[in-house]
Amino acid sequence: MTALWTSEEIASATGGIAHGTFEANGIAFDSREIGPGDLFIAMKGEFTDGHRFLDKAFSSGAAGVVVSEGGDFPHVLVSDTTTALNDLGRASRLRSEAKVIGVTGSVGKTGTKEALFAALDRPHRGQAHRSVKSYNNHTGVPLSLARMPRGARFGVFEMGMSAAGELAALTRLVRPHVAIVTAIAPAHREFFSSEEEIADAKGEIFQGLEPGGVAIVPFDSPYRDRLIAAARPYADRIVTFGLGKGADVRALDVVPVDRGTLVSAALPRAELTFTIGHPGDHWVQNALAVVAAVQAVGGDLAAAGLALAEMEGLKGRGQRHRISVKGGEALLIDESYNANPASMAATLKTLGATEAARRIAVLGAMRELGPGSNDYHAALAEPIGEARVDLAILVGEEMTALANVLGNKVEFAHVPDAAAATALVRDELQAGDAVLVKGSNGVGLSALVEALTNGGS
C-alpha cells in the first residue's frame, strides 16, 4: 500500500526539516486517535499543548510527528504546527485528481455529507473519501483534506461556520468542483443580526469553486435567489433542488414507506426512483441534493439510489434503537447531537408520523440563538402540537419560555438537566412508546441515549 505521507513529502509541504525517515498512513492531532503507522501533529491550543502527548502518541504506534520543538525521535520540525496542518491539507488537495464536493448549510450538513459519501463509494469501493464526524472547522477541514488518499476518486468535505468570512477561507482550501448549501435556518443566530446574514455567510462556499464548478442551491428556501446571486460570480452552472415546480432536481412523488420514503425525482437529462432509508421530509431534501451532486460529478445515479436505501441512521442524527422496557419494547429516536428551530420542527414532524402508543419528546435547549432565543423556544409549541406529542420533557433553563406557552395544552415536565431527564424517562417509558431525544450538544442528552440503550429501563 502506498503511504499517505512520507517524511520527505511532509517536510516539503510544510517547509519543515525532517529528522529521521518514516512513512505515515494516517493523521491525527488528538493523541487518543493515534494508531500504528499514523502521523501525530502536536498542535498548541488555548488550553493544551500536543507536545505533552508525544510519548503517548509513540506508545500508540505513531510513525512520526510534526512538532515545533525538536527531540530525539522521528519528526518534522516546523515553526508552527497549526500552519503545518493547513499546509498538509493544501498539498493534499493540490496533488489529488479527485472530484471534490463541499457541503454546508444550517441543517443537514453531516447527513448529506455521509449520504454523498455512501452514494459515491458504493460503485467505487474504497475510492471515495470524506471528512469524519463533524470535522468542519478551521482545524477539522485541513485535517480531513490531509487524510485524503492520494488515489481517491471522490472527496466530500463538510464545512461549517459561526462567523462571516470563515467559510470563504475553508472553501478556498477545499477548492470544490461542486458546492452545496443544504438549507438556511437560525443556527448560530447570536452571531448574526439576521437570517439574511446567515445566508450570505453560507453563500461564501461558492467562492472557492474550481473553474467549471457547479453550485447546488435549495429551491424551496426563501433565500434561494440570494444564494444564486452569491454563486453566480463563481459557478459555471447553478442547479436547484427541492419540491417546488421549477427546481432543476425535483421530487415528483414522495410516498412514506416502512422506515423511509419512496421518491420519484426528475433531474436534468434523467429520472430516478429510489427509497430513502430515513423517514422525514428533511431527508427528502437531503437526498435531492445528493443526487444532484452525484450527477454533477458524473457519478452513478442508480448506485446512489441504492446507497440511499441502505443508509442507517447516524449516531445523534436520527439513529433508531429498540430498547427493552417492561412488557415489550419502545422506540428511541436519537437526535441528540444538535438542534435549532428548523431541525426541531423537522424531527418533531417525523415523530408525529411514527406509529406509537404514546409519543414522548425529550427536548433540550437550543443554544446560540441570540436575543430571540425565548421566541424561538416558545415557537416549538406549534410543531409539538402538530406532532400529537403525549408528553414533552423540556430540558434546560432556556426551555422556560416554551413551558410558559404550553400551559395545559400538552402534558409536560420541565427539568434542569440531562440527568433529571434520564430519570424521568426511565420512570415514564412504556411498551409501544416512541421517544424523540433532541437538543443542542452542550445540553448533554447523548448521555440519556447512552443510558437507555446500554441499560434499558
Which pLDDT belongs to residue 314? 81
Asked whether residue 86 is domain-assigned, the answer is: no
Q: Domain with 293 in it: what CATH number?
A: 3.40.1190.10
Residues 279 and 306 in one domain: yes
Q: What proportion of the chain, given as a percentage, has pLDDT over 70?
A: 99
- pLDDT tens figures, 250-304: 999 999 888 789 999 999 999 999 999 988 889 999 999 999 999 999 999 999 9
Asked whether residue 90 is domain-assigned, the answer is: no
Q: What is the mean pLDDT of the chain?
A: 94
Which pLDDT belongs to residue 241? 98
Asked whether residue 88 is domain-assigned, the answer is: no
Asked whether residue 125 is domain-assigned, the answer is: yes
Phi-psi region of 5 (alpha: psi -120 to 50; beta: other; left: phi over 0): beta
Position 316 confidence tier, pLDDT thresholds 50, 70, 90: confident
Residue 292 main-chain phi, psi, to 5 deg: -60, -45
Position 311 confidence tier, pLDDT thresholds 50, 70, 90: confident
Nearest to 340 by CA among 372, 308, 371, 376: 376
Query: Quick one: CA dihedral 95, 97, 98, 102, positive or negative?
Result: positive
- pLDDT tens figures, 232-254: 999 999 999 999 999 999 999 99
| Cell numbers representing residue 157 in the block | 468535505
Residue 180 has pLDDT above 90, yes or no: yes
Which pLDDT belongs to residue 175? 98
- pLDDT tens figures, 199-213: 999 999 999 999 999
Residues 138 and 273 in one domain: yes
HSE of 411, CA atoms in CB hemisphere, 13 A: 8
Domain carrying residue 253: 96-310
Position 456 confidence tier, pLDDT thresholds 50, 70, 90: very low
Residues 143 and 241 in one domain: yes
Which pLDDT belongs to residue 33? 95
- pLDDT tens figures, 86-133: 999 999 999 999 999 999 999 999 999 999 999 999 999 999 999 987
Q: What is the dihedral of CA 20, 24, 29, 32, to 10 degrees?
A: -110
Over the range 45-56, which residues count as b (16 or more CB within 10 Å of their CB) and which as e?
eeeeebeebbee
Q: What proportion of the chain, given as a percentage, has pLDDT over 90?
A: 88
Residues 302 and 338 in one domain: no
Residues 142 and 189 in one domain: yes
Instruction: Provide the domain count of the chain.
Output: 3
Q: Report the pLDDT averaged over residues 34-55.
A: 94
Asked whether residue 406 is domain-assigned, the answer is: yes
Which pLDDT belongs to residue 193? 85
Asked whether residue 215 is domain-assigned, the answer is: yes
Asked whether residue 91 is domain-assigned, the answer is: no
Q: Domain with 50 in it: what CATH number?
A: 3.40.1390.10
Residue 305 has pLDDT above 90, yes or no: yes
Q: Report the pLDDT averaged over residues 67-93.
A: 97
Residues 229 and 344 in one domain: no
Residues 250 and 144 in one domain: yes
Residues 66 and 100 in one domain: no
Q: Domain with 350 in it: what CATH number?
A: 3.90.190.20
- pLDDT tens figures, 132-167: 877 899 999 999 999 999 999 999 999 999 899 999
Per-residue three-class SS string for the chain: CCCCEEHHHHHHHHCCEEECCCEECEEECCHHHCCCCEEEECCECCCCEHHHHHHHHHHCCCCEEEECCCCCCCEEECCCHHHHHHHHHHHHHHHCCCEEEEEECCCCHHHHHHHHHHHHHCCCCCCEEECCCCCCCCCHHHHHHHCCCCCCCEEEEECCCCCCCHHHHHHHHHCCCEEEECCCCCCCHHHCCCHHHHHHHHHHHHHHCCCCCEEEEECCCCCHHHHHHHHCCCCCEEEEEECCCCCCEEEEEEEEECCEEEEEEEECCEEEEEEECCCCHHHHHHHHHHHHHHHHCCCCHHHHHHHHHHCCCECCEEEEEEEEECCEEEEEEEECCCCCHHHHHHHHHHHHCCCCCCEEEEEECCCCCHHHHHHHHHCCHHHHHHCCCCEEEEECHHHHHHHHHHCCCCCEEEECCHHHHHHHHHHHCCCCCEEEEECCHHHCCHHHHHHHHHHCC
Nearest to 204 by CA among 341, 132, 95, 192: 192
Residues 327 and 247 in one domain: no
Asked whether residue 205 is domain-assigned, the answer is: yes
Q: Report the pLDDT averaged over residues 399-409.
A: 93
The residue from 271, 292, 310 where one domain ends is 310
CA atoms of 368 and 281, how far apart (whole Å): 25
Which pLDDT belongs to residue 455? 61
Which pLDDT belongs to residue 317? 86
CA atoms of 224 and 88, how far apart (whole Å): 35
Residues 250 and 173 in one domain: yes
pTM of the model: 0.88
Residues 259 and 396 in one domain: no
Better pLDDT: 132 or 172:
172
Residues 122 and 201 in one domain: yes
The residue from 257, 286, 310 where one domain ends is 310
The residue from 48, 81, 114 where one domain ends is 81
Q: Report the pLDDT averaged over residues 39-61.
A: 94
